[in-house]
Amino acid sequence: MTALTVGLIPAPGMPRTLIEKIIDDLPDLAAEFIDTDCTFKFEVEISPLASSSEYINETIQRMVKIKEKNDWDYVIGITDLPSLSENRVVVSEFDSQKSVSLLSLPSLGFFYIKRKLKRMVTHHLEYLYKYNEDSASFRSTELLTPTVMNISRETPIEDNESTNRYIIKSYIIGWLKIILGMTYINEPWSIVTNFKTLVSLAFATGTYVAIFSTPWELSIDYQPWRLIALMLFSITGMVLWLIYAHKLWERSSEKTTAHYRWLYNLTTFMTLLFVSVANYGILFILLTISVSMFVPPEIFNEWTRADENFTIMNYINLIWFTTSLGILAGALGSTAESEDKIRNVTYSYRQRYRYNKLQEEDGDSN
């Protein structure tokens, strides 16, 4: 029975985490879908793969060096950086002759990432294996189709180490997938707790506002659309303030093309939007407790034109109103507690950091 060693090179962060979760399942999947007469051993080496989004050649050459160093039969790289070709989203790159492939994790979208990654890694290995076996038949068509729909296989026309690539056909679906995928990889839930000062200030502001009768009157008089508009305004205001305060907006530069810059900025906005909505929900819960304790129903109904039959709804409106005011005050009066952690949610910052680290490594090796 033939034994083959497959090297997996995930980027740090989410790619590494996901690979560690699925690696134990890969040998059985490879035997089932590729060759039952082979045993597949999977090994992992972490690498930044910093240039993958715009400089495929550098990344493939780096993976080939790692492959030769470890004496692997095949190599599959998994990067968390996006890749575009003529504004369409690239899913995979293959250098079949060198038995190397690269998967762009953001192209898999937001949902069922682990399952999709498992299937795609298996398919990449099958692609490289069948090429080396000089076989034109690919049993993996059924494996690939449910993973990422509407994919076309193309040969790059530009001067590129890649001999084949997968591209999502639809511009709209492709960009939607990649933005959601990049947002997921940013792990916005991991930085929600980085805004304790902001939430504390917002909570103090909301509680203080809630003890006066004027907000009570306004919350009763406001129609639902006004409360919704105020909520959207406060959340959007918080996102824009964080982007401004921490200089997270990627500006025009020679290092980053316009399309990647749009991707980075949209992902930053979506990530901070997730964080802001989560903080809004946390503040709403805290103010529900606070208002319930400090605003007696009798006084609320006496000092306002509130209908006693709708006391619960009146309280919800008051909490909703004060939450929006509190978020606005908290956002303007405070920023994130860890500058490095909040800046790390931007892809351009992360990419430059990794690129500089690779340059240092290359300098040390020389």
pLDDT digits over 101-149, tens only?
Answer: 999 999 998 888 999 999 899 999 988 888 766 544 444 444 444 444 5
CA dihedral (150, 151, 154, 158) positive or negative: positive
Query: Which carries the bigger pLDDT value, residue 289 or residue 57?
Result: 289
| Domains of the chain in sequence order | 2-171 (3.40.390), 186-358 (no CATH)
Per residue in 293-314, pLDDT (tens digit) is 887 777 776 667 666 665 678 8
pLDDT value for 157: 64
Please give the Cα distance from 37 to 3 (Å, whole number): 9
261-284 average pLDDT score: 90
Give, in degrees to the nearest 5, the angle at Cα 95 between 92 and 100: 80
Percent over 70 (pLDDT), the chain = 78
> 223 in helix, strand or coil?
coil
Buried b (16+ CB within 10 A) or exposed e, 1-28: eeebbbbbbbbebbbbebbeebbeebee
Name the band, by pLDDT with cuts 50, 70 and 90, for residue 7: very high
Q: Which tokens belong to 245? A: 């305060």
Of 304, 325, 287, 314, the residue nearest 213 (C-alpha): 304
Question: Mean pLDDT highest for which of 23-27, 139-143, 219-223?
Answer: 23-27
Instruction: Tell me the whole-structure pTM to 2 decimals.
Output: 0.81
Percent over 90 (pLDDT), the chain = 27
Q: What DSSP letter does each residue of 145-162 carry, written as one string?
A: TTTSSSEEEE---SS-S-
36-64 average pLDDT score: 79
For the cut 60, the answer to whether the pLDDT of residue 54 exceeds it is no
